[in-house]
Amino acid sequence: MKIPETTIPKPLISRRFLPGLVLMVFAILPHGSYGETESGNRFDNYRDWAIYRGDNKANQYSELNQIHAGNVHQLQVTWEYHHGDANGPSMYSNPIMVDGLLYFTTPRVNAVALNAATGKEVWVFEPSRHNRGNSEFRGRNRGLTYWEDAEGNHGRIFNFVKDRVYAVDAKSGELDLSFGDKGFIDLRYHLDMDPAKASIEVTTPGIVYRNILIVGSRVPEGNHSTPGDIRAYDALTGEFKWIFHTIPHEGEFGFDTWQWETGTIYGGANPWGGFSLDEERGWVFCATGSAAGDFIYGGTRKGMNLFANCVLALDAETGERQWHYQTVHHDIFDYDNPPAPILATLQSKGKTRDVAVQFTKMGLTFILDRDTGEPVYPVEERPVPVSKVPGEEAWPTQPFPLKPPPLVRLSIHEADLTLITPESRASALEQFRQFQTGTLYTPASIQGTITIPGHQGGVEWGGGAFDPKTQVIYVNANEAPTINRLEPLVSDDQPAATPHQRGGRIYLATCTFCHGLNRVGNPPLYPPLKNLQLDRDAIKNVLLNGRGIMPSFTGFTPEQLNDLIDYLLSDEEELDFRKKGLIENKPGSTPRYAQISPFFSDPYGVPAISPPWGTLNAIDLNRGEILWKVPLGEYPQLVAKGIRHTGAKNFGGPVLTAGGVIFIAATPDEKIRAFDKYSGKVLWEHPLPAGGYATPSVYSIGDKQYVVIAAGGGGKLGTKHGDSIVAFALPDEDLAK
């Protein structure tokens, strides 16, 4: 439906704040202005939250200061919008605000526009009406991208839905049929593979440089993967412009950093955390994840594996590589680079230096010169443990920045184990003595290796908030150790003849690193797959289209799909894979392993190490020092027992305002909090209708500043789902003072 422009509120200074299934807004009076960037992009500034993460440099900073440390405790809910779909997965969306309209996505990846001042619905775009009749797709999506041409025309919202990019009229919510193929781009193409076998899901919005839309993707991490290539399209027409191969092709730079095996499918090395952009240089920046196939094993992809686990600077017009910096060589730990780098400018002794700040799952922070990619502080290539698993060749060294210090523990010892309850301690000791332990880069083993900070540790996709005045950056981090184990899959003389055996073979090669051996699951993130309450057609739909955190598996033949479904639905006694020979290792081929990585947890489902398990940190980038560190969040099941201030695993980023306040939700206690930027003291907290596993947004309409959060719950923390967007502001009587 169309809405008259006279009913759309005009922002005095606009700003977005929080994503999730619930959106909350807070009031602020704007003071001061940094102005527009030299590029002339009217949205790339610290006033308007019209871009994912606030601005093109991903600074997650607002110059608004109506809400400040002295009055933040007075914030109250101004409006709350319910999108009506509280069945998950979580809503991670960081809403953007453009010309009085607030845009975000739901678990069905519907794009929604609200009146940013009142929360009243303006329009809803339902991609399922245009997507091959697929009305069941549910996915994680962190937001939308707005674009208009240089004259301010063709205002569009780009909605990223699985393997498609839709162009939606920003005012009316109608599909723009002039874009691409009758309104959308199909991302399964231009990948040098059969489009029918490409598994693509865009979970983080793309970014626009002038009239070029640049897009990344999420792809499967197993043997049936898809290249994580970066692509660009004409933002007006949808025409394909360029591609950067993150897994180099023969003749391209980086090709010789791989040992290639005939018949192996290579994928991954994808920038699933989105992009940042330097408009003045005309460069786009991103950070890639690990390579595939395989998850915590790399026997079929020996070598350094460029451009996996790299910070990349590309020419935004052409896709030409300007520089790269690899943060993990031959990743066999699932140490992706979750967020795109933050582009910051440091000022010291009268000199300025442009940098790219890359946070990692390891809790290490790489500060790189923005022109060259060279580290600003020294980085040491240190020897790390070798792999004792046949077929694996761990890289002998890994880079360790000397500054800033790590945000998390990099090794685990008996002294690190939890003491919160006697049963927690006993469980931790039993597991600790059963498995191997080691430092940050200790490879997975057949016995099982406890690895810290784990594949949900360090800094996740929420990124950090940079203060351009003080050059201090604020970031949340996790300590979530995992047990990385490889089970040899050896063949015997009996072929897997039954559908159940053939399906078990596929399951072991593809599904164990999420759902464990024999379908036991890895709660709360990965459910058990026993006693499924779905019929064959429903299971097939999930396998082919994905759902929530699960990617699609389009590389299976119809016969393989049927065999896998037979195995998943079977109530037969579980297979003894060692005896049944569910994976064939032909003579001379690389050994294969089932990959299992449960969390190192106690009986309460929390990390089996001493707290804090989640922290908020302040880092002085000029000195490379941590200024303060405080626990972030709590677990309700522990609070009920009187166990407080532990910190908790958290997902979603912080936002900083010129009022000296850091806003962040992200925690399983389903609260949003405000911290003092100087001390880390909690100034205010407020319960949300569901967990806010998203990054807030901050903007102003008229004379009121708002803080908005999506409260969708669910997600990797497994709390209840919600369907709210919540907005906070100061009471009107306080604004009049």
pLDDT tens figures, 493-550: 445 667 777 887 778 777 776 787 778 776 776 778 887 878 888 787 788 777 766 7
Does residue 267 contact residue 301 with C-beta atoms inside 8 Å?
Answer: no
In the predicted structure, residue 344 carries a pLDDT above the cut 70: yes
Contact 224, 555 (CB under 8 A): yes
Query: For position 587, what pLDDT does the model report?
Result: 61
Q: Which residue from 25, 52, 36 is spatially nearest to 463, judged by alpha carbons?
A: 52
- Given a cut of 70, is residue 712 above it in pLDDT? yes
Q: Tokens 């077929």 label which residue? A: 391
Kindly report, residue by residue over 429-460, the tens digit of the pLDDT.
999 999 999 899 999 999 999 999 999 999 99
Give 550's DSSP letter: B
What is the rounded average pLDDT for all residues in the chain?
89
pLDDT tens for 595-624 read 999 999 999 999 999 999 999 999 999 999
Pick from 395, 387, 388, 435: nearest CA to 412: 435
List residues bridging with 133 in a β-sheet: none
Which letter does DSSP use for residue 201 in this model?
A: B
Weakest mean pLDDT among 260-269, 433-442, 586-595: 586-595
Strand, coil or helix: 585: coil
Q: Is the pLDDT of residue 562 over 60?
A: yes
**Cα 685 off chain centre by:** 25
Give residue 134's pLDDT: 63
Tokens of 660: 């000296």
Give, rounded to a whole angstrom, the gap between the first and last alpha carbons of the chain: 39
Tracing tokens 């519907």 back to the chain, one arrives at 110
What does the block give as tokens for 534?
């779905």
- Confidence bin at 111 (pLDDT 50/70/90): very high
What is the structure's pLDDT at 539? 81
What average pLDDT does this structure show over 399-414? 98
Place of tokens 């990846």: 109
- Is the per-residue pLDDT at 174 higher than 90? yes
How high is the pLDDT of residue 508?
Answer: 76
Query: Per-residue pLDDT for 32 more than 50?
Result: no
Interatomic CA distance for residues 91 and 74, integer angstroms: 27
CA 626 to chain CA centroid, Å, is 24
Lowest mean pLDDT among 35-39, 534-538, 670-674: 35-39
pLDDT tens readout for residues 364-387? 999 999 999 999 999 999 999 999
Query: What is the per-residue pLDDT across 347-366, written as a single tens digit (0 to 9) for each?
Result: 988 899 999 999 999 999 99
In tens, the pLDDT along 97-106 reads 999 999 999 9
Q: What is the mean pLDDT of residues 239-266?
A: 95
What's the whole-model pTM score? Answer: 0.90
State the CB neighbour count (10 A cutoff) for residue 259.
14
Euclidean distance between CA atoms 75 and 28, whole angstroms: 10
pLDDT of res. 13: 32
What was the pLDDT predicted at 246? 98
Domains of the chain (ranges; CATH) run: 490-584 (1.10.760.10)
Band (pLDDT 50/70/90 cuts) for residue 15 is: very low
> What is the pLDDT, as a whole number, of residue 8?
38
High-pLDDT (> 90) share of the chain, %: 74
pLDDT at 558 over 90: no
Average pLDDT score over residue span 550-566: 80
Report the alpha-carbon distance of residue 272 to residue 340 in Å, rounded. 9
pLDDT at 59 over 60: yes
pLDDT at 74 over 70: yes
Burial of 535 (0-12, 13-18, 19+ CB in 10 A): exposed
68: phi then psi, degrees, rounded to nearest 5: -140, 180
Strands 697-701, 704-714: parallel, antiparallel or unpaired by DSSP?
antiparallel
In this prediction, residue 553 has a pLDDT band, given cuts at 50, 70 and 90, of: confident
| 17 confidence band (pLDDT: 50, 70, 90) | very low
Tokens 């049936």, residue located:
224
In three-state secondary structure terms, 397 is strand
**Cβ distance 231 to 213 under 8 Å?**
no
Sign of the alpha-carbon torsion through 578, 580, 581, 582: negative
170 pLDDT exceeds 90? yes
Would you state the pLDDT for residue 405?
98
pLDDT at res. 343: 98
pLDDT at res. 28: 37
Distance, CA of 735 to CA of 416 (rounded, Å): 49
Q: What's the pLDDT score for residue 717?
A: 94
- Between CA 20 and CA 712 the distance in angstroms is 5
Which range in 128-137, 561-570, 613-622 is most confidently predicted, on average pLDDT? 613-622
pLDDT one-digit tens code per residue, 272-296: 999 999 999 999 999 999 999 888 9
